[in-house]
Amino acid sequence: MRIAAPDTSDRYIPTKRPFNLRKWFFDTGWRHLVGAVMVVFCSFPLLYVLSASLHPGGTLITANGLFSEINLGSYETLFNLPQQPYADWYGNTLLIGTITSLCTVFLGALAAYSFSRMRFSGRRAGLLMLVLVQMFPQLLAVVAIFLLLNGISDIFPLIGLDSQIGLIMVYLGGALGVNTYLMYGFFNTIPASIDEAAKIDGAGHARIFFTIILRLVAPILAVVGLLSFVGTTNEFVIASIVLITPEKQTLAVGLYQFVSQEFSSNYSVFAAGAVLAALPVMALFLWLQKYIVGGLTAGSVK
């Protein structure tokens, strides 16, 4: 018995629509155009500084032709100047930035956990003071910071003027307020049922904080640590008045010497130093990116 094949003569066969450039541009294309413009806008300064560091001309004007000449002489000169110890500046910046960011994250997390989970007298007033203090820029306290550290130098030289420990303490005092308030808001998003379940199992505040809460708030810790490291690395005003000895200065203060003198400016060496100074920040951002993007609190409570 033969079965007749079905008749497909009247079946609808979809056809591909013709491409409409105008419709595509108004629907999606303009977004690609805006993205391309922003990429060019953001990448051009970076390419310009990199080109200036590879050009031995010594000025930024000669670097108008991007990568018209490539020479590593500026990088060699950067580490061979006895009056400008770039290697010491680099090490000082990494040391101060790392210690400041770690202490900021740790102390800020402790304060944020206390404000978020505990109830004590003066809690609301303390939170209000954290907000009010941040209304005044740290630059207003430069004179007071200098006089305070100058007076401390007579008694405790280790934390006084021209001391890296003193500079770290100044940075911690200025950054704890805003970072504590930032982490306080994130701590409030962690359900209190997690703490209650841990207390039923016999855990105290210290164990809950170090073994449970810190893992759940890892994204905000990464953000605060990154912002603290970047801010400490780029800070110039306070570091320039606290650190006097050239061997103790940071990159922001030391690199300024290459362009501060009118008749001995070397922008090529300055650009080379700026390119190398950006590498730790880029490496730290790439390392912390998975914590910044991912939310570790998802699925913590059933």
Range scoring the smallest mean pLDDT among 89-93, 94-98, 254-258: 254-258
Q: Read off the DSSP letter of residue 268.
A: H
CATH classification for the domain delimited by 81-293, as one of 3.40.190.10, 1.10.3720.10, 3.65.10.10, 3.10.110.10: 1.10.3720.10
Tell me the per-residue pLDDT of 212-237, one tens digit each, with 9 for 90 and over. 888 888 888 888 888 899 989 988 88
Residue 266's closest CA among 84, 26, 129?
84
Q: Between 77 and 64, name the one with better pLDDT.
A: 77
Q: Which of 225, 116, 101 is nearest to 181 (CA)?
A: 116
Place of tokens 């009056």: 83
Q: Summarize pLDDT for 137-182 with one digit per residue, the tens.
A: 777 888 888 888 888 888 888 888 889 999 999 888 877 777 888 8
CA–CA distance, 163 with 244 (Å, rounded to integer)? 9
Tokens of 57: 């001309």
6-32 in b/e form (b: 16+ CB < 10 A) is: eeeeeeeeeeeeeeeeeeeeeeeeeee
What one-character DSSP code corresponds to residue 161?
Answer: T
Of 117, 120, 119, the closest CA to residue 199 belongs to 117
Give dist(CA 39, CA 25) in Å, integer. Answer: 19
CA 267 from chain centre, in angstroms, equals 25
The answer, yes or no, to whether residue 271 has pLDDT greater than 60, is: yes
Domain-by-domain residue ranges, the chain?
21-77, 81-293
According to DSSP, residue 20 is labeled -
* pTM across the whole model: 0.80
State percent of the chain over pLDDT 70. 86
Q: Where residue 69 falls among pLDDT bands split at 50, 70, 90? A: confident
